[in-house]
Structure 1
Amino acid sequence: MPTRRNVFLFYKPTKEIEEKIAPLREIAKEYNFKIVSDYREANIIVSIGGDGAFLQALRKTGFQEDALYLGINTGDHLGFYTDFSLNDIDGILDAMKNETVEVRKNPTIEVSVNGENSFYCFNECSIRSNVIRTFVIDVFIDDVYFETFRGDGLIVSTPTGSTAYNKSLGGAIVDPRIKAIQLTEIASLNNNEFRTLGAPLILSGDSTLTLKVVQDGNDHPIIGADNEALSIRHCHDVKIRISDKQIKMLKLKNNSFFQRVQKTFL
C-alpha cells in the first residue's frame, strides 16, 4: 500500500478505546501514515469494533469505492469483517510486513424507494411491517409479477451478507464470488387461501427485484439497511439490484469466506 497513506479511524470514542488506539496512532506515525479527521481525505478507512461497527463505518463514510476498508476488533473474538484485533498490534504489523494480506472486493446492493430515495447496503435490505398485522407485498422480478407475499416481511441479501440475518431465517449461504441476490421470507403466511414460494430464492446479479407494498393501511414499513432502520413514510415500492459499487477490504490470505463460515458455525 505504498500510495495509500491517509488513514481515517472510525470508532465510538471512549476512554478505554482511546487508550487502546494510542499505540496504533504511534505505529501509523512511525510508518509515515497520516491520520486524517475527515474520511473524504482518506484512502484507508479503519473500522474499530465488531462487524456492526464495520457496517456503520461503511454507511457513515458513504461506501467509498476508492478507499481500502480494514476491520479491527476491540476484543479477541474476530468477526466476518474483522480479521485483526486491537489487542494484537504486533500481529497487524507482521501481517503487513510479511504480505499475508490481500484485497478482496465485495458487492453491494442499491435500493430505491418510491423511485427517489436511493441508498446502498453491504449485507442486506429488509422490509417489515411496523404494526401487528399481515404485511402484503407484490413481488416482481425484472418487472414481471412473481407472487403476492403475506407475512411479517422480506429480506434481500448479498452473498457477503448471506451469513447474517438471512441465515437466521433459513436462507442459503452463498459464495461471495457469485454475483447474485437472495430473497428470503420473514414468517410467511401459507394456507389454503394464501400461498408464497415458502423458500429462499437466489436470483442472478443482473435481475432487479421490485417489492410493491399493497396500500391497505400498512404503508409505513420498517426498512432495514444493514444494521440501521430507516423511517420512510408512504412506501409504495422498493427496487433492489446488485450495484456496480464494490467495497475493497483488506483481509488475511489464510482467512477465506468459507474458513470464517467454518469457524463461526461449525
Structure 2
Amino acid sequence: MPKTRQKGRQRLKLAIVSNQSTKSKRIMTQLEEKLLSAGLEIDQNDPDVVLTVGGDGTLLSAFHRYLHLIDKVRFVGIHTGHLGFYTDWRDYEVDQLVRSLQNDEGTSVSYPLLDVMLSYSDSKADKQFLALNEATLRDFSKTMVVDVYIKNDFFERFRGDGLSVSTPTGSTAYSKSLGGAVIHPRLNAIQLNEIASINNRVYRTLGSPLIISGHEWIRIDIKNGGNYHLNIDHLTIPQSKLKSIMFSVSRKKIHFASYRHTPFWRRVNDAFIGEFPKKEQDD
C-alpha cells in the first residue's frame, strides 16, 4: 500500500472544486449544504481537505490550483462521470462522506509526483513544475531531435514526435496509451515513453519504456530549434529558447484522505477491465 500518514484531530477547513457539468454543480450544492449543516467549515483559500466533484480532470485542476499547499492539503474525489481513477466516492454517497469528514483523524495515503526543471539557452532563470500524471514534450514544427541522459550518462539520441515522462499513478493515463507499463504507486519511480520514434538502419532508439528509480533522473538536451510544446498534466506551456529538461521523482507527494481508499490494483481493474466474471460451475 502507499505510504500512510496521520495527524491529530482538528477542526477541518474544506474547499470544493467542481467541473461545469449540471450534475456536478448539483452535487456540489448538496455537498456545501450538508457540510455546513454538519458544522464543518468551508474555506476555499486555505483548506485542509480539498473535495473535488467530477472526474480525474477535475482533480488534476484542483491539484494545480492548490499546489502551493501540497505539503498540508489532502484530496478527496467524488465521481460524477463515467471513469474516475482518482475518485473514491460516488455522487450518491455524499452523506457517508460528510460523516467521514466529521470523524476525520487526519489519515492519508501518499503518491509520488514528477519534478520538472526547465533550463534555457538565454538569460532566463530555470523554471520548476510538478506533475501528478505526466509531462510531455513535442515539436509540432519538425521532427524532434533530443539527447537523452540518465543521471549524467548519455543514453540515446531520440528522433520522433515527442517524449513523455509519467508518475506511477500517471502510468494509467497517457503513458498507458503509449505502451507503457502500469506501475504501483508504492514504487518511487518515473517512466519515460517514446512518441512515434524514428527507427531504421540510420537512426535507432531503445523503442521500449524506461522505468527510472527514485535516486536517478532523466535529462533531455534539445538539439535543434523548433516549436516546442510542453504539457504538464492538462496544462500546455509553449516554450522558446529551451535548452534542457530534467525529470526526477519529487520530494513532495500528493496526499489523499484515506477514509475509504480503494486499493490500486482494484482501481486498475475497475478502470480498464471491470469485474471479473463469476466462475461457472461444472455441469
TM-score of the superposed pair, with normalisation by structure 2: 0.84
Look up the SS of the partner of 1:127 in the other structure.
Answer: strand
Q: For the Cα contact (< 8 Å) 1:153–1:186, is it kept in 2?
A: yes
In structure 2, the residue matched to 1:67 is 73
The one-character-per-residue Cα deviations of 1:82-137 (angstroms, maximum 9, x if unpaired) are 111233323424655798x9621011111111161101001111111122x31111
More moved, 198-207 vs 20-29: 20-29
Q: Of 116, 119, 137, which residue of structure 1 is paired with 2:129? A: 119
Matched, 1:235 2:242: yes
Which of 62, 65, 90 in structure 1 is aligned with 2:95?
Answer: 90
Identity %: 34
Question: What pairs with 1:9-48 in structure 2 (closer than 5 Å)?
Answer: 9-12=16-19, 17-38=24-45, 41-48=46-53
Contact 1:65/1:246 (8 A) holds in 2: yes
- Counterpart Cα distance in 1 of 2:200 and 2:100: 55
- 1:183-218, Cα deviation, whole Å (9 max, x unpaired): 110011000000000000111111111001112x32
SS at match of 1:260: helix
Q: Structure 2 CA distance, aligned partners of 1:79 and 1:261? A: 11
Query: Structure 1: where are the runs of 5+ without partners?
Result: none
TM alignment of 1:1-266, pairs within 5 A? 2-12=9-19, 17-38=24-45, 41-62=46-67, 64-75=70-81, 77-93=82-98, 103-114=108-119, 116-131=126-141, 133-215=142-224, 217-218=225-226, 220-251=227-258, 253=260, 255-266=262-273
Q: Quick one: which amino acid aligns to residue 148 of structure 1?
A: R
CA contact (8 A) 1:21 1:86 kept: no
Aligned residues of 1:74 and 1:87 also touching (Cα < 8 A): no
The Cα offsets for residues 42-76 of structure 1, whole Å up to 9 and x where unpaired, read as 1111122110110111011115120111111234x
Find the aligned partners of 1:256 and 1:224 in 2 and give their Cα distance. 28
Structure 1 pair 34–253 and aligned structure 2 pair: CA distance change class (3 A): closer
1:15–1:263 distance in 2 versus 1, CA, 3 Å = closer
Distance 1:121 1:264, change over 3 A: same
**TM-score, normalising length: structure 1:** 0.90
- What SS is found at the alignment partner of 1:167? helix
Paired AA for residue 116 in structure 2? V
Q: CA RMSD in A?
A: 2.2
The 1:170/1:252 distance shift into structure 2, 3 A limit, reads farther
Please identify, of 189-198 and 60-69, the stretch whose mean Cα deviation from structure 2 is larger: 60-69
CA distance in 1, matches of 2:74, 2:38: 17
Query: How many pairs are equivalent?
Result: 259
Letter in 1 for 2:157: T
Tell me whether 181-190 or 12-21 shows the greater mean CA deviation: 12-21
**Could you tell me whether the CA contact under 8 Å between 1:4 and 1:44 is conserved in 2?**
no
Partner of 2:277: none
TM-superposed deviation, 1:173: 0.5
Q: Secondary structure in 1 aligned to 2:67? A: coil
Greater displacement, 242-251 / 144-153 = 242-251
Whether the aligned pair in 2 keeps the contact of 1:78 and 1:85 (CA below 8 Å) is no
d(CA) in 1 for partners of 2:251, 2:232: 18
Structure 2 alignment gaps of length 5 or more = 1-7, 120-124, 274-283
Q: Cα distance 1:251–1:51, how it changes in 2: closer, same or farther (>3 A)?
A: farther
